[in-house]
Amino acid sequence: MHSTHLLLEEPIRMASILEPSKSNFFPAMTKIVGTLGPKSRSVEVISGCLKAGMSVARFDFSWGGTDYHQETLENLKTAVKSTKKLCAVMLDTVGPELQVINKDEHSISLQEDAYVVLTPDQDKEATSELLPINFSGLAKAVKKGDTIFIGQYLFTGSETTSVWLEVSEVKDEDVVCMIKNTATLTGSLFTLHVSQIHIDLPTLTEKDKEVISTWGVRNHIDFLSLSYTRHAEDVRNARELLSKSGDLHQTQIFAKIENIEGLTHFDEILQEADGIILSRGNLGIDLPPEKVFLFQKAAVYKCNMAGKPAVVTRVVDSMTDNLRPTRAEATDVANAVLDGSDAILLGAETLRGLYPVETISTVGKICAEAEKVYNQDLYFKKTVKYVGEPMTHLESIASSAVFSFGASTFNCLILSIYSINS
């Protein structure tokens, strides 16, 4: 009798875990953002992604020109028509991103304990001893002992394809660094990230402004992903640009929080933005690993209470090369949903990964499973407590509806309220 009592008291029946997953008639409520690129830009693959559950297509302008992305977008339109699956368009800006330039695209081997010089002279050839970068102010921004991370764009975190550097000396505009791990850099472009350092570059670069006012306007983008958002003023400036750039006044701005500056000004950014993207790849470099989960939980909770979407990135990196996620990654996706995340953003996994369709399908299944055990009642009570008294008429209607139709209805209504008010 005692064991039966315990079983009934369990919030999740252990026996239900052994039951096969049932395919849902409706897709997961958690949205999936897929980045379209070399491995996912054909009509056939995009169609597969849409059928698997992708509802937002992300176009990352850190690489590739407008012609390249336009061709991909035309393929997306064709896929939308053939599959009859709607898909929004997200333009992701470059922002103040520091990059290593490797014009010849040859592999660069870096050996532990050796030295490499970072120079703003982009005419120089990239070698194991010298790496040209796109920023002349690095020498003024860093000091001896600072940590620099270099890796293929959309960090994999792999210790064989990414490198940690420690600033050893500053010589005029050059920065001399000691290599902390042996690695091989491959490709034409690598991202350079300096931990907890202010980079004196505008959040919206001239290239970003040009892309938004041309490509963005021409294609009536639904979302603008504002990279390296550091202050609320960044969002206001982007909003002003959108309002001046043709018919983009309804385009929503999702602020990407990627470093300590954005984290420090999170509350003011949340107030101005339409949604938040937690860019865990870069944040994981600025923050110690044991602190990343704290930021995620705090930020998602704040987004939930403000009624604004929270998007989590870097969830199934291993699926870039593998058909299945690791156990930790699968758990990470589910926990993101249970924390209250509204969407999962896939980068390298769909951009250059071997299994873009399977990745979206897998993430969708994990999200759906997590949603089945999501505590809607607790979420409702927390939200009502946060909203407080007196409620607006619309909030009161939504609150009353919960008691009649259940908490899942409340989620839909509360999001509707915020979109009406905005």
By the 10 Å C-beta count (0-12 exposed, 13-18 middle, 19+ buried), 170 is classed as middle
Question: Across residues 276-288, what is the average pLDDT?
Answer: 88
b vs e for 344-381, b when ≥16 Cβ sit within 10 Å of the residue's Cβ?
bbbbbbbbbbebbbbbbbbbbbbbbbbbeebeeeebbe
The residue type at 149: F
CA 295 to each of CA 54, 81, 109, 262, 315: distance values in angstroms, whole numbers, following the listed order: 26, 40, 35, 11, 15
Cα–Cα distance measured from residue 26 to residue 354, given in angstroms and rounded to the nearest whole number? 27
Mean pLDDT computed over every residue of the chain: 87
Answer for the pair 40, 57: CB distance below 8 angstroms, yes or no: no
DSSP one-letter code for 130: E
**Confidence check: pLDDT of 103 > 80:** yes
Q: List the end-to-end C-alpha distance of the chain, in Å, as a whole number.
A: 55
Answer for the pair 269, 257: CB distance below 8 angstroms, yes or no: yes
Interhelix angle for 393-405 vs 376-387, to 10°? 160
Question: Across residues 140-161, what is the average pLDDT?
Answer: 79
% of the chain surpassing 90 pLDDT: 62
Q: From its phi and psi, is residue 21 left (phi > 0), alpha (psi between -120 and 50) or beta?
A: beta
pLDDT in tens, 67-102: 999 999 999 999 999 999 999 999 999 998 888 988
Beta bridge partners of 98: 192
**Confidence check: pLDDT of 9 > 60:** no
List all residues 6 or more positions away from 399 whose beta carbon is below 8 Å from its beta carbon: 384, 391, 410
Residue 14 has a pLDDT of 60
Question: Token pair of 28, please?
Answer: 């997961």
Question: Across residues 47-57, what is the average pLDDT?
Answer: 96
Residue 25 has a pLDDT of 60
Question: Across residues 262-281, what is the average pLDDT?
Answer: 95
Give yes or no for a cis peptide into 132 (omega within 30° of 0). Answer: no
For tokens 């139709």, what's the residue?
405
- Angle value at C-alpha 368, between 318 and 413, nearest 5 degrees: 125
The residue type at 360: I
The number of CA neighbours under 13 Å toward the Cβ of 17 is: 5
Residue 53 has a pLDDT of 95
The residue type at 44: E
Answer for the pair 245, 215: CB distance below 8 angstroms, yes or no: no
Question: Across residues 247-268, what is the average pLDDT?
Answer: 94
Domain boundaries along the sequence of the chain: 26-96+204-372, 98-194, 376-421
pLDDT in tens, 394-419: 888 888 887 666 544 445 544 554 44
Among 1.10.3720.10, 2.40.33.10, 2.60.120.560, 2.60.40.3620, name the CATH number for the domain at 98-194: 2.40.33.10
**Confidence check: pLDDT of 157 > 70:** no
Of the pLDDT bands very low, low, confident and very high (cuts 50, 70, 90), residue 171 is: very high
Of the pLDDT bands very low, low, confident and very high (cuts 50, 70, 90), residue 8 is: very low
The number of CA neighbours under 13 Å toward the Cβ of 328 is: 3
pTM: 0.87
Pairing mode, strands 310-313 and 343-346 = parallel
**Confidence check: pLDDT of 262 > 90:** yes
pLDDT in tens, 290-349: 899 999 999 999 999 999 999 999 899 999 889 999 999 999 999 999 999 999 999 989
pLDDT in tens, 372-392: 888 888 888 888 888 887 888
Question: Across residues 143-149, what is the average pLDDT?
Answer: 91
Q: Which of 59-63, 117-121, 166-170, 370-374 comes out lowest in average pLDDT?
A: 370-374
- CATH topology for 26-96+204-372 is TIM Barrel (3.20.20)
Can you say how many angstroms the Cα of residue 163 is from the centroid of all Cα atoms in its chain? 22
Answer for the pair 332, 313: CB distance below 8 angstroms, yes or no: no
pLDDT in tens, 314-324: 899 999 889 99
